[in-house]
Each structure stands twice: as structure tokens, then as C-alpha cells.
Structure 1
Amino acid sequence: MSLFNLKIKGLKIFILLLPVLGLFACKKDFLDNQAELSIPESRVFETPARILAQVNGLYSSAKIGSLFGGRYQIYNDIRSGEFRNRTSNVVTGFGVYQFTNDPSDTYIEGFWINGYLTINRVNKFLADFELAKNQGIVSDQLKSQYIAEAKFVRAYCYYALVQMFAKPYTQDAGASRGLPLRLKAQTDSADNNLKSGTVAQVYAQILKDLNEAEVALPASYSTSVLNTTRAHKNTVAAFKSRVYLAMGKFPDVITEANKIVSATAPFRAATGVNHTLNADVTKVYGNGAAELENVFSAPMSATNAPGTQNQLGYYYNAGNIEYFLNQGATGIYNNPAWPASDLRKSKFVLQYSAAWHILVKYSNVSPFTDWVPLIRYSEVLLNLAEAEAEAGSLTRAEELVKAVRQRSDPSYTMPAFTTKAIAIQNILLERRIELLGEGFNAPDIQRRLQPFVSVGAGASIPYTDSRYVFPIPTSEKLTNKIVE
């Protein structure tokens, strides 16, 4: 097995690249495959199956509950004012909810650690795969594809980290302090000290990885499961539309989204995986459902659940109800733009008690096996709509938003997009509804430099406030003496 030590944040961590969870194998029974557990590191590239296992391990690392299997979405949503806390539980983000988390918060530190852990796994894979003695085990095309998948995973991690731990790119075109850009494998503590790059430098690396990945990735895979759980060309285009939106580079959003969105309704990807909206929004969530809408998902199973107190259903649904919907004036729940006729309200919101309305998108109970949506086609349509409103056609922007809205509520009459201001207002409202509970509200607030209207803090938090983004963890500063 590929086993190495990484000393980071004062901890010696043993990193296993082989996917003992077996989440992304190629066969039908991929959720139950058993990994080889006694392979020397020198032999992990000896067979095609072992090489694939290394790639699968990168996805498995990214999808754990403390990273993209739950915590990323939760932290971004509970800051945004759409939810109210029920339990005052520090383990489940109460400090984040109140904007009182500080550099010593071990749960935020866990997100940082696992983000960089996954990045280092990518770096180690890239270095070892390039130097593997057994050349010719897989074709050059497949080797390029595996490298591309690794770079996609690294870019996905860096985007999340820079969004959560650094000021928005749109504040100063990325001139502010970003993150340490670790692009070489760490196998000991020798290279712990590394200054943070700027936000712009981090985004430049994200786009470099994505552009290189897009060239080498396949247009599609052999099964719908693989099309949803591994990166392909359309996955990269969809994700780049998100990255460019975060940077406020609207023409680039249009360029990337147009790769997978037709010029007119009904909107659909013309090449590769034929992504489109699922006609029935209630079929979008669950276990591997709606593969044409779910561009990229983190699969879960009974033996590979997100883990204790990380699961989205545990937080929002009847698993534990850590957070229920904010029914006050600032929450989306009672906004007139979200009437009861909308299926996303009548089917995804449940009145649990007289005081509590809860989000039930994630309907599975323990062990919470709902697949976690990471990129959906509806997001891409809304990314494109916003970019069109800012730098393109208001008419097309309106049609894109209508496609998303009327899928769930055909009777709703949306205001005509006669001005950019009206268009942007309605697009942002639609994002709050469509992407509720999926980790988008905080990034949307941040890239627009809007204040957090915090229920937990009982205050408005402007982008100039130090609480606007998470501080770099204390433990990172203890082992990285020159990080800012």
C-alpha cells in the first residue's frame, strides 16, 4: 500500500492512498469492492487495477464527511442567515453560526487539515506516478486522464480553501493574502514553512489545473455512475463556471458554461454527457439519482457514510435537527418569491413542529446514505444567467432562470428582466432557493461583497470584518512559522 508520513499542524498523519472505501471503482458493485491492504508502496503502480485504486483514493479522500461529504456545505449555509440553530452544539458548528469561531477551533481546523491532506495525496500521486518504474502498465492516454483527474481534485480542494480562509477575489482582484500553495508532495516536516500566496495566485493555480485537466479528461465514462462520480470534460467546464463567477469574470463564465448549455431552451449539453435538468425536481436527490443533472456527486453507502455529525441529513432533517429554517424576515423561507406552489417548498420543507420547518432534501436516515451533490446542472444555468445579466443578454438570463424556476413551479410569474438590477435580484433569490442546503449561500454573499446578516451573531458582518472569512488555524501557524 502507499503509506507515507506527513507532519502538518503539529500532527504526524499516516496517509493511505488506496481507497479502502472503494467508492469509485468501475464495476456495478463498486460500493462493496474490497481493497488490497498489504501492497508495498513500491508496487502500487504495478497493475492497472492498482493504479486505478490510487486515483479512486483521491476522490475518496475528498468526499469524507469532514470535507466535501458534509462540512463544506454546512459551514457555508449556517453562516448565511437561512437557518437557526437548535442545539448550541460546538461540534456541529455553533461557533461558525455565531461568528465566534477563532483560530483554535478544532472543527474548522479539521476542514483545513483534510483539505491539505487531500492536496498532498494528489501531489504524492502525481510525483510517484511520473516516476513509476513500471512504464506501459496503462496507455499514455489513460495515464494522462488519471493525472487530469488528480489535478481536478486538487483544484476543487483549493477553491474551497481559498473561499473559506481568504478574502474574496472580487474585493481587490485577488491582491490580498491567500493560502500556502503546496504543489510538491510532503513526506516529512522539512517543507512545512511556506508563505501564503495571494488570492490571485491561488485562483491562477486552480485554473491552471482545470485547464490542463480538461484537455486530457474523457468526454464521458461507460456508466452513469462513473459520469456522476468521476471528472470528465463537462465536469471541468461546469466547475470553471463557478470559479470564474467567484472571480467576477463574467465573460469567462459565459464561455465555460456555453460549452455545456445550449443557446436556447430546453437547455442541454450537446457533447459528452448530455447534462440537462431533471424534469422532476423531487428525483434529483438520493442515491445516485438524476445523473444528467448531477454533474458531480460524492457517493455514500451504508458502509461508507459521511461519519458521525457530518451528515447533511443529520443537520437539517430528522436525524438530529441541528438547524431548522429561519422563518424571520431575513430568511428565504417566508420570502414572497418562494410561494407554497413551489415543489421545492412543498416537497423539500417539512413542518416538524409549530416552530420548526426543516429541510428534507436529504431524506435518508442513519447511516445517511444520500449522495452529496457537488455540482448540479441547475447551478450551471444560474451561473450562466448571472453572467449574462452582467455582461451579456438579459433575455437569455431570464430564459435560464425560468427554466430552473418553472421546473419546480410552472405557475410562478417571474418579473421581467427589464434591467440588470431586476435580473440580478431575481437570480440571487433563485440561487437561495434552488441551492439551499448545498453550500452556496456564503460564497454567493462573499463574491458580491455583501454583508452576512447573521442570525447567530445578531449582527450584520461586512466584508471588512475579520470574521467574514475563517482565520488560518493556530496549529498551522505552529508548524508553518512563516504563514501569515
Structure 2
Amino acid sequence: MKKYSSLLLVSIALLLAGCNDFLDKEPNKSSNVVPGKAEHFDALLNSYRSFASEANRDVIHGSDDYGLYTELFDNKDIYGVNIVQFATWDVEYLPDYERPYWPHEWEKIFVANMIISNLDKMEGTKEEISHLEAEAHFVRAYSYYQLVNTYCLPYSQGNMQEMGLPIKETTSFEESAERASLEETWALILSDLEKALQLKHDLKFDDDKYRIWRASTPAVNAFAARVYLCMHDYENAKKYAEAALANHGVLVDYNTEMSYSSFVEEVTVGDENIQIVYPITFDGGMYSQNSMAWKELYYYRYLYNSSEYFVPSKDLLALYDQTHDLRYRYHVVEDYSYTRGMVDPPLSYPSYVFCENGYVPSGPTVAEMLLVKAEAQVRQGEWEQGLATANQLRAKRISSDAPANVINLSAANKNEALQHIIDERRREMPFTQRLFDVRRYNNNDDASDDVVMTREFYPYNLSAIHGKEAPVIYTLDKQSRKFARPITTYDITVSEGVIKQNTY
């Protein structure tokens, strides 16, 4: 692709036009209309709805946190063939129209590149321009990190010469779209991260309110911890997690600060009226005060599921202490399947709910940083200290009237401690981080945490699920090339073959 896709151009035009009134016409390849003042570029980054959304269906459906079951399909056909294609790691049938994630992340990179390309002629104070420079590098690094973990093979020394992503550092439509190596892609992420770490801004701005939709010092540190954990660099992962926590380490205490929403959904099942209750974070949706003020978030990103049903796998549900774990009490919404029409015959199955039915926060959080620190400690041999770190989180998540040995994790050795941390990550961050975690588990120097994911479901083709046929087993092996998800056919075609598809 010698140019950005037309979808990208349309989206960027709308973004620019919507942020401020300083643009009266859509930008295009020939007009070269761009904002000129620091405040204009600042307005671009304030368009948080444009930057926050992550409609990554490979992440939503592609990990063992997601439940794909014949009995749910038989009852109400809730999946649809496209969901099944994602959930079985298909590389043949995935339609482009169900994969908005690739172009949307490139839109964010385009805006970051627009800011970086105009730094030398931007009107503003030195402080304003330096801030925008660091934040633009953060935005670009974040999107590249998401893309490389979705469309490329996992980080490992053996994969460094495999295909990475196109290196886009300007807004030029003539800049090559040829895929660089994975090594070059990760080098860009680390270079951008180094520049982003120069940002000096508190999580709270002048009005003393959290501004989680904009970059801050703790947000960049938290993202750095996530990046280095992915790279198996546990020393730096711990270092940056501790830096983020030192700047902002406030946890939500589920014992005192969580409750149920006033919204109750009633469903008639046979002769009985069933009440479906939701957590307080459900109220108002992703842009409500409840979610925008969620004080554990460092940076406002969310996983968007258009099917509005985060179906938890039976394995995921079994990891929760359903009596004492308050995450299960508030976020696992029992009987949710009734709202999807599974009432005749009745089949009760829950959903994982955080904000609205289809939104789960995916940006770095205080809880995640505690778990990054805990894992780094365990992997570096300090497994008792790692459990103590994780127990700081559990004190705010497990019912305070539970026995001490339920609240606090304990282990007899390093391997037991590591498994506790791995399980705690799944309980704390279901769906959002699990696929990326499995990628790194299968490519580190510790075979004890390897994961082979399997599904048992019906056969299917491009357009239909064959529910009358016998179920088959789908497997994603530890070193499968299917961990690099297919790039959209549209973008490969528009590039005139410059972008190469992953090989399987």
C-alpha cells in the first residue's frame, strides 16, 4: 500500500473536522490542510472516543476466556458464523467487514504522525509542544503494540526476522507500506516509548479530576511495564510498574465501593419472572461518570464487543471463588442468557459485564501494575514477595469476611506461586489481556506456563455453521502461526500487493 486506505482517509477527515472549527473542509492527499497551533493538535488528542475504542474481535473471541459451546448455539444460535470463525482461529473465511480493528489503529497512528511531523512549525509554547511530542509518541507506540500483538507472530528471539508491520513515521501517502521485520517493528515501539517516557504530567489535571483519556506520566510508565512484560524483561517490567504505582496506586475496594446498578432487567421464564442485576459500573455506559472516573485506570482504552455478550468460558468461571470473590459477584451477571432469548427451553448462562453489555476497560490499571510487579518478582525468584504483592490486590477484591487463607494466596514453591499469578490475571482482566498473555507464555524460557487452547464445536464454512453435523476439535498449538491473525484482504488489495499476508 503506497497510501493509506480510503477508509482511513474518511475517518481522519471526520476526526479532524469534529475536533475543532479550525478546519472547514476535509483533508485529502492534495489539500494538505492541517491544524497549525498547539491547541489544535491538543484538540485532536482530546477526541477520546476516537482513541479509546478497540474492536479487536481476535482478542475478544480468540482466547480461552471466551466460551464457545454447542449447547448455547443449539438453544438460540447466539454466535453467528463470524464469531465462530474468530473463536476457532480461522484464517480462511474471516470477512473484512467484521474486522475494523486494523484500520482503526492505523487512524490513531496517522494522527500521532501528523503531530510529530508538524512539531517544527507548530505555534505554541515550548512546554506545550514538548508535551504533544511525547504524547504523540505514546499514542503511536500504544497502537503499534496492539497491532503487533494481533497481526504478527509473538515476541521471541526466534521470530525477530519474521514479518512485522509497515513502519509509518510520517503522514506521507508515498511512504512504503511494505512490512518491516518484527525486530524493526519492536525497535520502533521501544524508540517511541523512550520518547513518551519524557512526558511529565500528572494523572490529575488542573481541575483535580482524572484525565485518563490523555497521556500522563503514570500512564506511560504503566504501558512501559506492559511492554517489557511482553518482552520477558522482568527487571524493567517491575521497574516501570513500581514507577506507575508510586505516582498513582489507588485501588477500588470492592467491599465498600462496589454495588449493584439501580437498573434491573426482568425476563419471563416459564411462569417465573427473573431479575437480571448489573454492577454499578454498568450505569451510563463507557462514557458515563462511573467509567470515566474509574480511579484505577491509567489510560482510557476499552475492548468493544459488537455482539454485546462476553461469554465467559467454563474454565474462566471455575477460577473464581464464587462465594467470596467480589469480581464474580459484581461482574459475572447470572442468567444473562435469558436476555438473549434462551427461555424456551430455558438455559441459564452468565455474561461478563463491566460497562454496558459490550464494553470492558482494556487500558493499564493499578490492579494490572500490581500483577505485573508480582509476576516479575516470582519469575525472578522472589516468589513469596510476589504473592504478597498480589495479595494487596486481593484484599480489595475478596470479601472482607472471608477467611484469611481465602483472601491471601499462598504457595509451597515458585511454580505454584506463578500459577497463582497467572490465574489472578485472568480473574482480574478477563478477555482483554488473555490472548496476549498466552502468546508470551508460549514464547518465554519457562515451559511450565505454556497453553494449548482447544474448542469443541460444529464444523462451518464461509456462510454457515453446520449444527446438524458432529462437533469437531479446533486447536491452537503453542507455536501455531495462527497467533498472527490475518490482515484484511482489502488493505492487501489496495496496497497492490505491497503488504504481504501472513503465511500459515
TM-score normalised by L of structure 2: 0.74
Matched, 1:417 2:423: no
Change (3 A) 1:408 1:108: same
Measure the CA separation in 1 of the matches of 2:389 and 2:364.
17
Q: Aligned partners of 1:371 and 1:443: how far apart in 2?
A: 16
SS at match of 1:202: helix
Gaps of 5+ in 2: 260-279, 283-287, 339-345, 443-450, 458-471
Q: Supply the distance in 1 between the matched residues of 2:186 and 2:52 (Cα, whole angstroms).
A: 22
Residue 297 of structure 1 corresponds to: 300
- Alignment equivalent of 2:253, drawn from 279, 289, 314: 279
> Secondary structure of the equivalent of 1:454?
strand
8 Å CA contact 1:21, 1:60 repeated in 2: no
2:441 to 448, 451, 471: 448
Please state how far the C-alpha of 1:425 moved relative to its aligned partner: 0.5
Structure 1 contact 120–186 (Cα < 8 Å) conserved: no
* Separation of aligned partners in 2, 1:212 and 1:17: 28
Quote the Cα distance in structure 2 between the aligned partners of 1:9 and 1:343: 45
Sort the Cα spacing of 1:90 and 1:140 in 2 relative to 1 into closer, same or farther, 3 A.
farther
The 8 Å contact of residues 80 and 441 in structure 1, kept in 2 or not, is answered as yes
Distance in 1 of aligned mates of 2:181 and 2:237: 22
Deviation by residue 1:294-323 (Cα, 9 ceiling, x = unmatched): 111149xxxxxxxxxx844x645xxxx3x5
Distance in 1 separating the partners of 2:190 and 2:201: 18
Alignment of 1:294-443 (within 5 A): 294-298=297-301, 311-312=304-305, 315-316=307-308, 321=309, 323-327=310-314, 331-335=315-319, 337-352=320-335, 353=338, 355-364=347-356, 372-409=361-398, 410=400, 411=402, 412-437=406-431, 439-443=432-436
Percent pairwise identity:
20
Distance 1:120-1:355 versus aligned 2 partners, 3 A rule: same
Task: Give deviations 1:110-160, integer Å, cap 9, x for gaps.
Answer: 21122222212221222134334xx4xx21011110111111111110001
> 1:31 maps to what in 2?
none
Alignment root-mean-square deviation, CA: 3.1
Structure 1: 5+ residue runs without aligned partners?
A: 1-5, 23-33, 262-268, 300-309
**Corresponding residue for 1:206?**
189
Residue type of the alignment partner of 2:497:
K
**Structure 2 vs 1, CA of residues 224 and 168 (structure 1 numbering), >3 Å: closer, same or farther?**
farther
- For 2:296 and 2:177, locate their aligned partners in 1 and report how far apart those are by CA, in whole Å: 42
**Cα pair distance change 1:37/1:225, threshold 3 Å:** farther
Query: Are residues 482 and 422 of structure 1, via their aligned partners in 2, closer, same or farther at CA, if it must alter by over 3 Å?
Result: same
1:183 aligns with 2:149: no
Cα distance, 1:21 vs structure 2: 5.6
* Corresponding residue number in structure 2 for 1:303: none
**Cα shift at 1:75:** 2.9
Counterpart Cα distance in 1 of 2:149 and 2:97: 17
In structure 2, how many angstroms separate the alpha carbons of the residues matched to 1:346 and 1:98?
29
User: Which letter maps to 1:466?
Assistant: R
Post-superposition offset of 1:183:
1.2
Distance 2:36 2:164 in 1: 39
2: distance between equivalents of 1:243 and 1:294?
Answer: 17
Alignment of 1:2-151 (within 5 A): 7-9=3-5, 13-14=9-10, 15-16=12-13, 18=15, 35=21, 38=24, 45-57=35-47, 59-64=48-53, 68=54, 71-72=55-56, 74-85=57-68, 87-90=78-81, 93-102=83-92, 105-107=95-97, 109-132=99-122, 135=123, 138-151=124-137
Q: CA deviation at 1:173?
A: 6.1
Matched residues in 1 for 2:93 and 2:132: separation?
36
| Count of aligned pairs between the two proteins | 420
Tell me if the contact between 1:18 and 1:54 (Cα under 8 Å) persists in the aligned partners: yes
Residue pair 2:304, 2:360 contacting (<8 A) in 1 also: no
CA distance 1:104–1:123, change in 2 (3 Å): same
Aligned-partner Cα distance in 1 for 2:440–2:120: 37
CA contact (8 A) 1:79 1:452 kept: no
Shift of 1:399: 1.2
**CA shift at 1:40, angstroms?**
8.5
Equivalents in 1 of 2:42, 2:416: separation in Å? 49
Match of 2:46, SS state, is: helix
2:445 aligns with none
Whole-Å Cα distance in 1 between the matches of residues 67 and 301 of structure 2? 26
Aligned-residue offset at 1:483: 3.4
Aligned partners of 1:380 and 1:351: how far apart in 2? 29
Matched, 1:458 2:473: yes
Distance in 2 separating the partners of 1:403 and 1:380: 11
C-alpha distance in 1, partners of 2:120/2:194?
A: 20
Matching residue of 1:161: 147
Q: Provide closer, same or farther for how the CA distance between residues 387 and 454 of structure 1 changes in structure 2, counting only shifts above 3 A.
A: farther
1:265 maps to none
Question: In structure 2, do the counterparts of structure 1 residues 11 and 339 end up closer, same or farther at CA, with 3 Å as the change threshold?
Answer: closer
| Match in the other structure for 2:235 | 251
The change in CA–CA distance for 1:434 and 1:251 in structure 2 (over 3 A counts) is: same
The 1:275–1:36 alpha-carbon spacing in structure 2 relative to 1, beyond 3 Å, is: farther
Q: How does 1:214-233 map to 2 (within 5 A)?
A: 214-220=197-203, 221-223=205-207, 225-233=209-217
Q: What is the CA-CA distance between 1:435 and the residue it aligns to?
A: 0.5
2:333 is paired with a residue whose SS is strand
- Give the 3 Å change call, closer, same or farther, for CA 230–371 of structure 1 in structure 2: farther
Alpha-carbon distance change, 216 to 470 in structure 1, aligned in 2, over 3 angstroms: same
Structure 1 residues 69-89: Cα deviation after superposition (integer angstroms, max 9, x where no partner):
xx23x5313211222355233
Q: 1-side partners of 2:384 and 2:169: how far apart?
A: 43
Q: Which runs of 4 or more aligned residues in structure 1 lie more than 6 Å from their structure 2 counterparts after TM superposition?
A: 39-43
